[in-house]
A and B are shown apart, each in its own frame.
Chain A
Amino acid sequence: MEKTNFNQKTTHEKGRADWLRDVDAKPKTRIVWGTILVLAVLPFIISAPLAAEILIWGIFGLGFNLLLGYTGVLSFGHAAYFGLGAYCCGLALRYWHVSLWVALLLGVVASVLLACFIGALAIRRRGVYFAMISLAFGQMLYFLALSPLKHITRGEDGLTHIPVIHLFSFSLNKPLPLYYFVFVIMSGLLYLTFRILHSPFGKLLQAYRENEERARACGFNTTLVKFFSLVLSAFYAGLAGALNTIYLGYVPLTTLFWLTSGTMVMMTILGGKGTFLGPLVGVGVFLFLQNTISLFTPRWELFVGTIFVFIILLFPGGIMGTLREKYAGYQMSKLKKRSTLS
């Protein structure tokens, strides 16, 4: 790279710098700091247990959104990664008496390996076909845990008697200490996700979503892109599952159930797929709705399902997505006005 003498920049180069500023400003991390700030005080705004749930599912959602929102790939069996992470962490804690960090690591590694396996089998399958296959694999894991592997997973009862973890003399099965433990992890993940999205890889994910064939014509191995995206999302899911085990102190079989996968899909779409805050917003709204409706009736699925149907019909961009569209529309009309005036 040539060094430019700043005092003698040609008008041409100066124009270039201006142009670049328009389209490729340095990414502003204030959205990350702002979110972290809000999350820091969340347990004091809403109940601590709800906040903890939101945070854990939020981690799940952050990764899932990378796959669904940014790469454009729908997986209906992500509970497999969440549940496997949960079970491995629980098993390690209960039978091998490992430390907290080793247990978390095991959960994550297990999920990532599973994603590599499923990816190797199914990654080349397109769109809806991939969704169906991922769902079937998720179900396979569920039924394996339910019956044949009952001696390991304890089947329907779930894995219980997991020792309580203590960190700095705080018990992590209490909502508030757990919340701040997960909060630290979440903050790190928020920053990581932000960097990923603004990196060459992050842009590549979006190009894949917009037009896979063209991305391939540019020279990218799009199969690998899809594969990495899947594995990355499994990383987040496995971590969330493991954290869930730490929090609950046990592993329910439902962590592998299809409704868990489906719930994640609904949360992501509700919040707005393909937006940075979408998953968190979606998780928050969904869990809040679920909690509130459950006070009146156990039939919260009816309401949430119906709301979801309407979202798909009227606002497929979700909450953040619709907001972003409005904002982008406003920006475009400003740009158009500027170019017609000049």
Chain B
Amino acid sequence: MIFDVPWNVIVLQIFFGLALGSIYVLLASGLSIIYGLLDVVNFAHGTFAMLGAYAVFLAVSMADSFLVGLLSAIVIVGLIGGVTEYFLLKPLYGKDPLLPLLLTFGLSVAIPDLIKIIFGLIGKPVNYPEALSGATVVGPLILSNYRLFIIFFTLAIMISLWLFLKKSDLGMIIRASTRDSLMVQVLGVNVSRIWTIGFAIGIGLAALAGAISVPMMAATPDMGVDMTMVAFVVTVVGGLGSLGGAIVGGLFIGLVVAMTSFIAGEYATVSMYFCMAVILLIRPRGLFGEIGRE
């Protein structure tokens, strides 16, 4: 017992925190990739997550398959992301660096309204998929299967992402295209296309985050804003442009929010901003950030 709280309750909160944090990790890593590759802060990141949530809703209502929902979230929303980059962001490269941020901001205002027109204002709930519902009992702990799924799924995605970026040809090209795109162009790679692909990957991760959170919170048009905020906070804490930072930061913030939610529910959302303020004070570049990027 700690502070009159049974330890299994504390472990349960940690479990909740890890699940929440996993979603944050997906969001932040997508944002990080986009920033690292394109120097663009994607204000519409949460908006695309929201689209992923609606993609799952559609897939489940039409095909009754959560799996199809996840896949379509990644693929369809990822494609939308690629198209967005190609037509809307590309013309802005080389100009004022604030323009892409502003453009994505405009999207974050316009797109939710579009969703409201198509799907209405009320949130669309999605049931937990059969296979992932229920809970696993481990001793005195009752761990919801879906949350277990979130944690391990995110782990699998992150590992695949790491392998892809470090080991595959395309992955290595993407990593090289961040710092010295001149070099890549000289080597004959179409950098422009790499950027589109990279953006799509980042968006795909956001869509995934939205997709897997749907059973827990229903797809609503305005859910994107909070998700963008979380991605920002995690990125500041973890370090702008650092994937490792996104992972550590995401889990950390997830734990903080879960714990605060348990101890003093009102302050749950405020707590993550507090963490951000503290990091700004003592280590402005973030836990894993590089000096000079900030």
Contacts and interface: CB of A to CB of B under 8 A. Distances in A.
| Touch between chains A and B, by CB atoms below 8 Å | yes
Interface of A: 74, 76, 121-122, 124-129, 131-133, 135-137, 139-140, 143-144, 147-148, 150, 258-259, 262, 265-266, 269, 299, 301-302, 304-306, 308-309, 312-313, 316
A309 B117 CA distance: 19
Nearest to B111: A305
B4 interface: no
B183 interface: no
7 contacts: A125-B280, A129-B240, A131-B41, A140-B270, A148-B270, A312-B99, A316-B96
B111 A143 contact: no
A312 B267 CA distance: 37
A265 B91 contact: no
Nearest to A269: B102
B101 A309 contact: no
Given A126-B294, A313-B88, A137 B117 contact: no
B112 A313 contact: no
Given A129-B240, A301-B110, A316-B99, 10 more contacts: A125-B284, A126-B294, A128-B98, A132-B235, A140-B270, A140-B273, A147-B270, A150-B266, A266-B109, A301-B109
A128 B97 contact: yes
Nearest to A125: B294
A312 B41 contact: no
A305 B106 contact: yes
A304 B270 contact: no
B176 interface: no
Contact of B102 (A124, A133, A136, A312): A312
A136 B276 contact: yes
Interface string B21-48: 0000000000000000000010000000
Contacts of A140: 270, 273-274, 277
A148 B105 contact: no
A143 B97 contact: no
A73 to B, nearest CB: 9
B294 A129 contact: yes
Size bracket of the B interface:
35 or more
A304 B109 contact: yes
B229 interface: yes
A136 B253 CA distance: 14
Contacts of A136: 229, 232-233, 236, 273, 276
A316 B236 contact: no
A137 B273 CA distance: 7
Contacts of B110: 301-302, 304-306, 308-309
B281 interface: yes
Contacts of B103: 309, 312-313
Given A132-B235, A148-B270, A262-B105, A121 B277 contact: yes
Contacts of B116: 299
Contacts of B114: 302
A269 to B, nearest CB: 7
A137 B269 contact: no
Interface in B85-124: 88, 91-92, 95-99, 101-103, 105-114, 116-117
A305 B233 contact: no
Contact of A133 (B92, B95, B225, B280): B280
B88 A309 contact: yes
Interface in B217-274: 225, 229, 232-233, 235-236, 240, 266-267, 269-270, 273-274
A128 B92 CA distance: 15
Contacts of B240: 129
Contacts of A148: 266-267, 270
A309 B106 contact: yes
